C-alpha cells in the first residue's frame, strides 16, 4: 500500500510549482511524508488535518474546502451522494440531441452505469519490478516500403516515423487492399494512424471517396482530426468535425465546404444526418473507433441508424480494446467476413506501477494534496466519478495554489479543448476529469494517474491508468480506497 506518512526529508516545496521530473529507476521506491511536516498546510486560521495514519472510522462528510478563518473543516471533496437506481425508471438514450460529447452517461463522464459490480481492489496493485528482457518487436514492414502516395509517405518520414507499431504493421497492408478489418490493440499503440494513413491514401487515389469516422467523445474526435491534418498537410484533403457541445452552425458551414473526411460522435452525426447536412449515400468508408466504449455509452441505436443508411457496397473498419458479444453482434451486422487482427499483449502495460492509497473518506483531499505536493508528481491526471465531484476536487486544489483545471461533460467543447491544450503544453500540470478523459487521449509525459474515486469497472480502470506509462515510458497509478 502506498505510504504517505513516514518521510522526514526536507520541507514542502511551493504548492503547484512542479519543477523536477520524476525518476523511474529500476528499484522499488517508497513514498512517504512525515506527520511533523505540514505537506498539506491549511490556509491561515484553518485547523485542517490530513494525517491519515491516526484515522479512525469516522464517517462525517462535507463538501466545502477549508478557507481562511475556518475551524475544523471536514474534507470529503468530490464525493457525490450515492444514488439508488433500483427504483428509478431507466432513461431512454435513443437518438436525441446532445450526445455528441457522449450523452448523459459515460460520454460526458458524469453518470454511473446501472448494476455496478464490486471491484477487487487487489487488481489495483502491481509493484513487481520487471527484470527479464522484454521481447523486442520487429515489424515486417517499414513505412518507406508501403505502397502509398509518395507525398503522404514523405510527410510520414519527415515526422520521424520509420517503423510502424505492431497494430500499424499488421493492419495497414490489409486496409490498403480494401479489406474490412476488426483491429484490437492496447491503448496508446497508434491505432489512429493505422487507419488514417491507408484511408488518406485511398482518397488521394480517388477524390470521390468519402470517409466517416465515428468515435465516442469530443476529445477523441478532435485528436483524430489533429492527426489527420498532420498527415494530410499539403494534399488538398479536408475534414469536418461534428461533435456535441460545440456550435452546430460552424459544423454545418464546414460540411458545406469541400471535405473528404467527417469525424464525429454518434448523437451529433445523427442529428446532422436527419437535418440533411450529411448525405450518407456519398460515403463509401466508415470507421468505428473505440467501439466498445460507444456501446457502453448506449450509442448502439445511433450507430446502427447511421451505418444502415450507407451504401451496401462499403468499406468498414472496427477498432476496439475489447471484443464483447455485443460488439461481435454489431460486427456481423455491418461487415462481411472481416479480417480480425489482435496485437494485444497484456491488459495493462508493465510500464505502469500500480498501488492503492487506503484513506478515510473525509481525509481524501488532504491525502491528495500531500501526494501532489511531491516533486515526482510532475504531470498528473486525477479521475473523479461525477461532473459535480470533479468540479469540487478542482476548486479545492485551486484554492491550495496548484496549477490545475478540470474537464467534464458540463463544459463546452471549446473550454475542454483549451484545457487539454494547456495540459499538453504544461501550462497546468494537474488535470481533474471524469471518464471523458479515460480513452483515446494521447498526452505525453503524464507521470501519475490518481483514481480519486474508484472506477466503476475493471475495464474503466484499465483505460484510466492507460493515460500514463505510454510507449516505452514509465508511469504510476494510484487508486484511493475507503479505509474503515
- pLDDT mean by block of 10 residues, the chain; 484 residues: 48 41 39 39 36 36 40 41 39 34 36 47 52 56 93 92 91 95 80 95 95 92 94 95 91 95 96 95 94 81 91 92 79 88 68 88 94 94 93 95 91 84 92 79 85 85 81 84 82
Q: Alpha-carbon distance 191 to 164, whole Å?
A: 11
Which domains does the chain carry? 52-100+108-128+350-482 (3.40.50.300), 144-342 (3.40.50.300)
Q: Show Cβ contacts of residue 11 under 8 Å, excluding neighbours closer than 6 positions.
A: 37
Q: Alpha-carbon distance 125 to 177, whole Å?
A: 43
Sole residue written with cell 511531491? 374
CA angle at 89 for the pair 86 and 90, rounded to the nearest 5°: 90
Q: Helix 191-205 to helix 150-158 angle, to the nearest 10 degrees? A: 150
- The strand ranges marked E within 303-456 are 315-320, 339-342, 352-359, 380-383, 404-407, 430-433, 448-451
Sole residue written with cell 505502469? 352
**Residue 431: predicted pLDDT:** 95
Q: Alpha-carbon distance 61 to 80, whole Å?
A: 10
The grid coordinates listed for 254 are: 464546414
**Residue 346: predicted pLDDT:** 54
Length of the chain: 484
- Tell which residue, 204, 477, 221, 188, has the closest CA to residue 343: 188
> Do residues 15 and 40 touch, judged by C-beta distance below 8 A?
no
- Tell which residue, 313, 310, 243, has the closest CA to residue 280: 310
Q: Show Cβ contacts of residue 226 under 8 Å, excluding neighbours closer than 6 positions.
A: none
Q: Alpha-carbon distance 169 to 191, whole Å?
A: 11
The grid coordinates listed for 33 are: 511524508
> Do residues 197 and 272 touch, judged by C-beta distance below 8 A?
no
Q: Show Cβ contacts of residue 160 under 8 Å, excluding neighbours closer than 6 positions.
A: none
- Tell which residue, 23, 30, 28, has the closest CA to residue 9: 30
pTM for the full model?
0.57
Q: Alpha-carbon distance 238 to 130, whole Å?
A: 45
Q: Which residues of 129-140 are buried (b: 16+ CB within 10 A; e: fewer)?
A: eeeeeeeeeeee
> Do residues 292 and 322 touch, judged by C-beta distance below 8 A?
yes
- Tell which residue, 106, 93, 317, 331, has the closest CA to residue 217: 106
Q: Alpha-carbon distance 301 to 279, whole Å?
A: 19
**Residue 483: predicted pLDDT:** 80
> Do residues 177 and 315 touch, judged by C-beta distance below 8 A?
no
- Tell which residue, 360, 377, 354, has the closest CA to residue 446: 377
> Do residues 370 and 360 touch, judged by C-beta distance below 8 A?
no
Amino acid at each position: 500500500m502506498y505510504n504517505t506518512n513516514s518521510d522526514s526529508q526536507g520541507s514542502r516545496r511551493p504548492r503547484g510549482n512542479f519543477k523536477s521530473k520524476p525518476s523511474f529507476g529500476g528499484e522499488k521506491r517508497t513514498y512517504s511524508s512525515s506527520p511533523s511536516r505540514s505537506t498539506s498546510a491549511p490556509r491561515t486560521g484553518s485547523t485542517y488535518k490530513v494525517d491519515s495514519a491516526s484515522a479512525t472510522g469516522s464517517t462525517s462528510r462535507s463538501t466545502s474546502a477549508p478557507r481562511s478563518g475556518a475551524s475544523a473543516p471536514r474534507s470529503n471533496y468530490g464525493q457525490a451522494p450515492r444514488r439508488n437506481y433500483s427504483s428509478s425508471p431507466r432513461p431512454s438514450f435513443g437518438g436525441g440531441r446532445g450526445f455528441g460529447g457522449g450523452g448523459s452517461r459515460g460520454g460526458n463522464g458524469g453518470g454511473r452505469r446501472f448494476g455496478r459490480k464490486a471491484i477487487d481492489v487487489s487488481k489495483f496493485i502491481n509493484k513487481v519490478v520487471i527484470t527479464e528482457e522484454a521481447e523486442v518487436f520487429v515489424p515486417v514492414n517499414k513505412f518507406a516500403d508501403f505502397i502509398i502516395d509518395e507525398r503522404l509517405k514523405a510527410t510520414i518520414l519527415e515526422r520521424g516515423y520509420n517503423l510502424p507499431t505492431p497494430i500499424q504493421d499488421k493492419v495497414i497492408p490489409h486496409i490498403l487492399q480494401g479489406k474490412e478489418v476488426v483491429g484490437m490493440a492496447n491503448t496508446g499503440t497508434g491505432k489512429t494512424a493505422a487507419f488514417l494513413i491507408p484511408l488518406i491514401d485511398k482518397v488521394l487515389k480517388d477524390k470521390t471517396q468519402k470517409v466517416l469516422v465515428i468515435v465516442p467523445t469530443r476529445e477523441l474526435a478532435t485528436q483524430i482530426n489533429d492527426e489527420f491534418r498532420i498527415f494530410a498537410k499539403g494534399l488538398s484533403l479536408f475534414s469536418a468535425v461534428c461533435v456535441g457541445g460545440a456550435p452546430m452552425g460552424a459544423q454545418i458551414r464546414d460540411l458545406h465546404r469541400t471535405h473528404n473526411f467527417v469525424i464525429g460522435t454518434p448523437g451529433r452525426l445523427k442529428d446532422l444526418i436527419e437535418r440533411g447536412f450529411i448525405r450518407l449515400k456519398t460515403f463509401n468508408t466508415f470507421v468505428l473507433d473505440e467501439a466498445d466504449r460507444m456501446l457502453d455509452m448506449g450509442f448502439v441505436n445511433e450507430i446502427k441508424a447511421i451505418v444502415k443508411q450507407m451504401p451496401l457496397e462499403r468499406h468498414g473498419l472496427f477498432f476496439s480494446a475489447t471484443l464483447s458479444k455485443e460488439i461481435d453482434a454489431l460486427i456481423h451486422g455491418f461487415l462481411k467476413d472481416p479480417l480480425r487482427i489482435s496485437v494485444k499483449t497484456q491488459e495493462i502495460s508493465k510500464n505502469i506501477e500500480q498501488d492503492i492509497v487506503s484513506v478515510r473518506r473525509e481525509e481524501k483531499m488532504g491525502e491528495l494534496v500531500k501526494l501532489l505536493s511531491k516533486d515526482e508528481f510532475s504531470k498528473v491526471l486525477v479521475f473523479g466519478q461525477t461532473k459535480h465531484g470533479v468540479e469540487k476536487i478542482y476548486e479545492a486544489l485551486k484554492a491550495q495554489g496548484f496549477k490545475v483545471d478540470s474537464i467534464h461533460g458540463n463544459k463546452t467543447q471549446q473550454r475542454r479543448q483549451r484545457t487539454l491544450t494547456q495540459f499538453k503544453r504544461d501550462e497546468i500540470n494537474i488535470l481533474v476529469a471524469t471518464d471523458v478523459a479515460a480513452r483515446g487521449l494521447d498526452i505525453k509525459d503524464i507521470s501519475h494517474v490518481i483514481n480519486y474515486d474508484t472506477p466503476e469497472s475493471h475495464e474503466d480502470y484499465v483505460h484510466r491508468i492507460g493515460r500514463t506509462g505510454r510507449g516505452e515510458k514509465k508511469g504510476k497509478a494510484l487508486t484511493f480506497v475507503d479505509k474503515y
